[in-house]
């Protein structure tokens, strides 16, 4: 019977980074993907591809994006995003709950991991249009999120797949891992099902990188709470928590924010799971430029509390908690040119009207008079004396409202008006397995290493609590995937 040096469960970004690193060490690698090849890549295929890392300036960006022209560089202010800023963001958005050792590993190795990926052949490009607006002829990046994978999530997965195959990695699709095999002490392989047939596959180590439990309505309701079975799944239908459960059955310790998740405003009529033809287009992340109202017609959240990078991953939960679990995002003609491309897809739940009175009648499920009263009060509270600037937290807010808007507050008064209905779209769950921050080896309930078992990606617990800085999921998968791959042979 063939024995591999390592078997990797999953075939997304974290799994591939583990595979690349293991091959660098000379390990033989088998990857197991329960999805068919057309849906491969887990959540990584559904992401827009933004990836957060610490960098000191334009030279770092140029090294990672050698295709940038001198003209592009001349009209772009990439700024800096230091390790200190990254730490500050991680501690602030997680309310200082992020595990210090895991966070330190993530932040301090983020840049070198990006260069390692670039050296493998993964390409990156600046996120013009979503993370920088052109003002006075110059782009200025904001919010610490500057680069994305070339071709977004699909491009990232396809590049990883090509690199892995070229290095000798074997990938088996439609192969679901069911159980970890052990000898009573160490993990020795995986029991799988492939097209109805059960097989025992042997390995010296196993890396679990199969995502969170967001695609399981039962686990969402059990751990996140009542109502979460109603959320739409932004990404893969295959991330049902099986990797976490099989590790727990083998004695793995659980860790992190099990009642927390990354959840966003998502088109109200999106399908149950992600649609690869639409990709990330069902998200609706331009809410800082307008207002959000619920079924009573009232605003319920500070749309301008911070850059959307630091609020979007928690606002899905807030929307889910509204009456009838929806909201409408409302914009007037002053800002519609700033809306992200996702607002222009054909499959958007959208209404338009020349006047607010007509718009109020078209907002399905919303109290029309409540909406008109709310907009009247909001408009009267806007500080129109402070200039509007979408590239910075401009301090253009409201005065005297129970629910303030802290930045980017414009009156809703210039028609035609556009409104988009959103519900909650869950991306990934925050609770998962406890790992050693120096090796990515899974720890057991006595906090001792489980021999032969490693983990990376969304199912690692302890990194994110309550919220999430945009783009940190991919870099976390890369950092800890690479770390796991480097240690599968021991040492």
Calpha distance 459→431 (Å, rounded):
7
Sign, CA dihedral 91-96-102-108, equals: positive
Chain centroid, CA 35 distance in Å = 20
The pLDDT of residue 471 is above 90: yes
Contact 223, 259 (CB under 8 A): yes
Which token pair is 261? 């998740």
The pLDDT, as a whole number, for residue 491 is: 61
Question: Which pLDDT belongs to residue 389?
Answer: 93
Give the pLDDT score at 129: 73
Does 135 have pLDDT greater than 80? no
Which whole number is the average pLDDT over 289-294? 98
pLDDT at 130: 77
Are the C-beta atoms of residues 144 and 469 closer than 8 Å to each other? Answer: yes
Across 89-93, 193-197, 276-280, 465-469, least confident range: 276-280
Section 346-364 average pLDDT:
98
- Residues 237, 215: Cα–Cα separation, whole Å: 5
4 C-beta neighbours (distance < 10 Å), count? 22
Q: What does the pLDDT read at residue 138? A: 86
| Residue 280 binned pLDDT confidence (cut-offs 50, 70, 90) | confident
E-assigned strands of 150-297?
Answer: 170-172, 175-182, 187-194, 197-203, 206-208, 232-233, 254-255, 261-267, 291-293
What is the DSSP-derived secondary structure letter of residue 253? P
What pLDDT does 420 receive? 98
pLDDT at position 131 is 81
* CA gap 131, 419 in Å, rounded: 22
Can you tell me the distance from the alpha carbon of 118 to that of 463, in angstroms, rounded to the nearest whole number? 24
pTM for the complete prediction? 0.93
Closest CA to 375 of 394, 393, 358: 358
CA dist., res. 180 & res. 186, Å (int)? 10
pLDDT digits (tens, 9 = 90+) for 222-254: 999 999 999 999 999 999 999 999 999 999 999
Q: Which residue has the tokens 């492939």?
A: 194
List 192's β-bridge partners, or say none: 177, 199
pLDDT per position as a tens digit, 193-216 = 999 999 999 999 999 999 999 999
- Helices in 199-347 by DSSP H: which ranges? 217-219, 242-249, 312-320
Decide: 111 and 85 in contact? Cβ < 8 Å: no
Listed in sequence order, the residues at least 6 apart from 152 whose beta carbon sits closer than 8 Å to its beta carbon are: 47, 48, 49, 279, 280
pLDDT of residue 139: 87
Distance CA 2, CA 486 (A): 22
125 pLDDT higher than 70: yes
**Per-residue confidence at 142, pLDDT binned at 50, 70, 90?**
confident
pLDDT digits (tens, 9 = 90+) for 27-65: 999 999 999 999 999 999 999 999 999 999 999 999 999
Supply the pLDDT for residue 326: 98
% of the chain with per-residue pLDDT over 70: 100
**Residue 132: pLDDT over 90:** no
């Amino acid at each position: 019977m063939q024995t591999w040096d390592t078997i990797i469960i999953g075939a997304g970004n974290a799994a591939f980074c583990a595979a690349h690193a293991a091959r660098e060490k000379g390990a033989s690698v088998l990857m197991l993907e329960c999805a068919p090849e057309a849906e491969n890549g887990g959540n990584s295929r559904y992401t827009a591809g933004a990836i957060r890392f610490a960098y000191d300036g334009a030279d770092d960006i140029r090294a990672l994006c050698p295709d940038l022209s001198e003209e592009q560089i001349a009209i772009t202010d990439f700024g800096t995003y230091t390790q200190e800023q990254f730490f500050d963001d991680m501690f602030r958005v997680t309310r200082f709950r992020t595990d210090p050792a895991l966070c330190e590993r993530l932040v301090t190795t983020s840049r070198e991991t990006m260069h390692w990926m670039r050296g493998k052949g993964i390409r990156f490009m600046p996120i013009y249009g979503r993370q920088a607006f052109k003002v006075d002829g110059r782009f200025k990046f904001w919010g610490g999120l500057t680069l994305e994978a070339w071709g977004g999530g699909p491009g990232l997965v396809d590049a990883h797949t090509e690199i892995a195959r070229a290095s000798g990695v074997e990938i088996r699709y439609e192969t679901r891992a069911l159980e970890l095999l052990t000898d009573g002490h160490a993990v020795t392989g995986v029991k799988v099902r492939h097209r109805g047939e059960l097989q025992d596959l042997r390995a010296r180590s196993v890396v679990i990188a199969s995502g969170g439990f967001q695609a399981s309505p039962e686990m969402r309701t059990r751990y996140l709470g009542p109502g979460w079975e109603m959320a739409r799944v932004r990404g893969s239908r295959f991330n049902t928590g099986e990797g976490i459960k099989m590790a727990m059955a083998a004695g793995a310790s659980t860790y992190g924010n099990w009642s927390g998740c990354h959840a966003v405003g998502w088109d109200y009529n999106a399908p149950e799971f992600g649609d690869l033809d639409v990709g990330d287009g069902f998200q609706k992340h331009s809410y800082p430029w307008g207002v959000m109202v619920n079924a009573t017609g009232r605003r319920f959240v500070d749309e301008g509390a911070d850059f959307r990078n630091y609020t979007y991953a928690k606002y899905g939960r807030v929307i889910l908690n509204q009456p009838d679990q929806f909201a409408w995002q409302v914009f007037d003609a002053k800002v519609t040119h700033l809306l992200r491309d996702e607002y222009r897809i054909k499959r958007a739940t959208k209404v338009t009207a020349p006047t607010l009175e007509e718009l109020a009648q078209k907002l399905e499920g919303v109290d029309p008079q409540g909406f008109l009263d709310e907009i009247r009060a909001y408009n009267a509270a806007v500080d129109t004396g402070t200039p509007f600037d979408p590239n910075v937290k401009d301090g253009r807010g409201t005065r005297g409202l129970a629910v303030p808007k802290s930045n980017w507050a414009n009156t809703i008064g210039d028609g035609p008006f556009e409104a988009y209905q959103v519900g909650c779209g869950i991306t990934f769950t925050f609770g998962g397995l406890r790992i050693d921050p120096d090796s990515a080896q899974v720890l057991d309930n006595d906090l001792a290493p489980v021999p032969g078992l490693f983990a990376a990606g969304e199912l690692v617990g302890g990194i994110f609590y309550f919220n999430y800085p945009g783009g940190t999921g991919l870099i976390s998968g890369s950092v800890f995937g690479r770390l796991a791959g480097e240690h599968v042979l021991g040492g």
